[in-house]
Amino acid sequence: MTYQVGYFVGSLSSRSINRVLSKALIAVAPDDLAFSEISIRDLPLYSPDYDEDYPPQARGLKEAIAASDAVLFVTPEYNRSIPGALKNAIDWASRPYGKNSFDHIPAAVIGASPGSLGTALAQQSLRAVLSFCNARQMTAPEAYVQFDQEDFSDDGTVGSERTREFLRGYMAEFREHIQRVLTVLPRT
Ligand code: FNR
């Protein structure tokens, strides 16, 4: 059985290091994980005024999550928290009331920054949000990636064997987490 993983890149930057990280993660992931990006780029800003009739971009977002067995968040840290574009996407997905797309979904969080905190504070913020959204988060291992340009090629190739093995281990644990959650709570 293959698990479908929908992944979010929390950056809109054309030179995003987190997009590079997402490629590196996919490259070392177990073979029975299949990945598709869930784009956050074209979503309008969320308002409850849309709840009666979601626009196509937001319907597409919710359909993409519904088609996923699990979600992976690969995010930068902005001002010690979650980038607004990503928070906006989560707000869309969590609504309308009673139709929260993240309910019980297996989820994992990771991120890269040039600094040594490696998005730790953004991840804490994101974990609190996902907790409220009732996602089943992988709590360990944590992964705070200090992005070294020398180590990562744009296509996601990782030069350092140590980093590559760390990311491989992270994705192997995520696969186990997905299986454990879905055994108890199958996606309908
Ligand atoms: C940042 N950056 C940043 N880095 C960090 O470690 N902690 C922070 O709080 C912030 N805050 C922040 C705010 C804003 C508005 C920007 C644009 C940047 C730097 C950030 O880590 C760096 O730009 C990364 O390259 C962002 O990731 P992407 O977009 O390249 O994936």
Average pLDDT score over the chain:
97
Please report the atom of ligand 1 found closest to the CA of residue 114: 21
Count of Cβ atoms closer than 10 Å to residue 159 Cβ: 11
Query: Hey, whose CA ends up nearest to atom 12 of ligand 1?
Result: 78
Beta bridge partners of 108: 72
Largest CA distance in the chain: 50
> What is the pLDDT confidence band of residue 188, given thresholds at 50, 70 and 90?
confident
Selection from 42, 58, 41, 61 nearest residue 50 by Cα: 58
In the prediction, which pLDDT does 173 show? 98
How far does the centroid of ligand 1 lie from the alpha carbon of residue 34, in Å?
28
Pocket test for ligand 1, best of 25, 78, 148 (most atoms within 8 A of CB): 78
pLDDT tens for residues 148-174?
A: 999 999 999 999 999 999 999 999 999
**pTM, rounded to two decimals:** 0.98
Distances (CA, A) of 23 to 3, 17, 154, 156: 17, 10, 8, 5
How far does the centroid of ligand 1 lie from the alpha carbon of residue 181, in Å?
32
166 burial via Cβ count (<10 Å: 0-12, 13-18, 19+): middle
Pocket test for ligand 1, best of 79, 123, 124 (most atoms within 8 A of CB): 79
